[in-house]
Structure 1
Amino acid sequence: MAPAQTASDPTGTEDKAVIPFALPQSGPFEPADIKIENDQAITEWFRSAHARSADEAFRHWDEDGEIDARCASCHSGEGFRDFHGLDGTEAGVVEGQIHTGGVVDCGTCHNAGLADIREVTFPSGLVHPVQGVEASCLTCHQGRTAGRDVTQAIAGLPMDEPDAALRFINPHYATAAATWLGGYGGAGYHYEGRDYAGRFFHARPVASCNSCHDPHSLEVAFEPCQTCHLADSPEAIRIARQSHDGSGDTTVGIRSDIRGNADTLMKLIEAYTDEVAGVPVIYDGSRYPYFFADANRDGAVDMADGNPVAYASWTPRSLRAAFNWKLVTADPGNYAHNPVYSLELLYDAIEDLGEPLGVDVDDLDLLR
């Protein structure tokens, strides 16, 4: 018998029960027999870094009982929705309490409200237009500081004199979007008189993060790269006929040149802090703020009350070099996101530190 039609329900649908779960209406059945349309996508997401709820990126605030508002927009799906006003709150600020235990969940990238987000503001002040899920990627992979923060911190200070008020400025982690936009995005410290490569426009059809990264597993699809590049991995792709790191080896991927120049810059930072600033620095990427003092020159981080002593003898010259080094190395995919910009930032910092150390960058056979 068909459902009764009424004036308020002309189709007779109000009498139909709403079934909230994807279960068969009759049995017997086995759970494994129930087809879930997006089962594969969920499985891939669950194995990705976005879903690793035990990682420090999602557990750091457990003792506090809530996620710091400054961090919540990227370290919790709930915080992301609050920040962009997708939960009905004001956009541009995290207002409510963001609970711990969350991850970058489905609603971070599949919220219908993403279609209404037209732009994302970067730490440099750049307002960049976005479409759809780009808002998720560019919100959370832009870093937290930019070169302009370094410029403001060192303004008016003698270039090679340590200043106890200076502290390391951390660009943060996984800064792929900042690298990708290059000089246009203004993520790095830009040395006066230098021009910097802008956004890295790859070959078509590469136009967004999802052009290369699977949106759920986050893995890179390498097969499309082989349309133009003869290599056995993304890391082995070379985009230059010249050697940028002084090795002369053009048989390796451009990643090797970037890593080589990053290593050279770190050695110069260590030499500069020792010979010019007067207090050697030791880098330890496993603990914040990463750069620590070695005032007694014993090759170990100084300790005070059982805690490592943060480096506090920064000069304007060393601070801006360290910022660029960290920005480039914080993006493990810099060789694909914007290799030209990465090499430019490293070269300029090497050249700048070489001046007081008496190191001529030309003698290193480096190319910008």
Structure 2
Amino acid sequence: MNRILKLMITCVFALGAWLPSMTGAAFAASAPTEEWTKYPLIAHALGGIDGVDYTNSLEAFKTNYDKGQRVFEVDLSLTQDGQLAARHDWEGYLATKFEQNIPADQLNEPLTLKEFKGYKILKDYTPLSFMNVVRILEKYPDVYFITDTKETDPALVQKQFTLIKDTVNKVDPALLDRLIPEIYSPEMMTQVKNLVPFKHVIFSIYMSSMEPNEVAKYVKENQIHVVAMPFERATRSYMKKLSDAGAVVYVHSLNNVDDVNKYLAMGVHGVYTDFLSYKDLGIDTTAWTQPVTVASAAPANPAASNTEAAATPASSTAVSGNAVAAEPKPSAWEMLKSILSDIFSI
């Protein structure tokens, strides 16, 4: 009982101190080499818009960026003509969900990139090619994109990541530092690392049958700092193993504040979400949403294609600035997780 009272008193005083000035910088990651993990939220499929998920649309990006999101997961699928489109898959249910009048003989099959971009989503939202995604990355210097490419076949992986590398190189090779691939197996990790010099990766195990001990051993031996998994697979002991191996964990996908707190108490670092914002979680985003003056975006390679520029946001001399606030020690995010973990372990 005394322990519970002490913890309750600690929580009251700690929260009282944090809430008036809580900022995104306070939610720094425990893995110092992964600066992007100071953001505990990842906008799933570019985030929901008007109550609709999985659009991967320009408007979804803009809406959630304005709400303070800075890390966005985007689904990428190969088109019929061998390009990359921001589409979860080519199954017919998405055409129905998005009210797209795709001919019956083309349902459940990849479209060409031109066809894909010709179908508005719910009559209002703009579909994106991967080039559009790269242009957004160029114009918003404080944004990170996580790619969910879904394929594990080596030939398809080779094709997808060659397209990713070549497209980024046409615009600015430095953008690779803010492009974070989800990798689904040790074999894919080796293949992708040999192909593209990504600064950050996520070991995403939603397609893997690896056991907790295997995952922990693998990430430790390969110095992987971020693991993603379905929330159903997260347990307190699993989180402890991965923390001891030097990795933080993001679970997907959660859209309820109570659920986020539950997994936070379990040792999870952050979540993919369709609809939750930092405001919903009581997190002040002032540290990374203050506008700063930046140079207008221009292609690093003058020969880069501009044919899809109209689908990306217009350049501006005042966009939200890069989130490089100093990381306090200890991090409030880590301390809050520790306190909640102690409480729920009693």
TM-score range normalised by the length of the shorter chain: under 0.3
Which structure has the greater CA radius of gyration?
A: 1
- Greater percentage in helix: 2
- Greater percentage in strand: 2
Q: Pick 1 or 2: higher relative contact order, CA cutoff 8 A, min separation 6.
A: 2
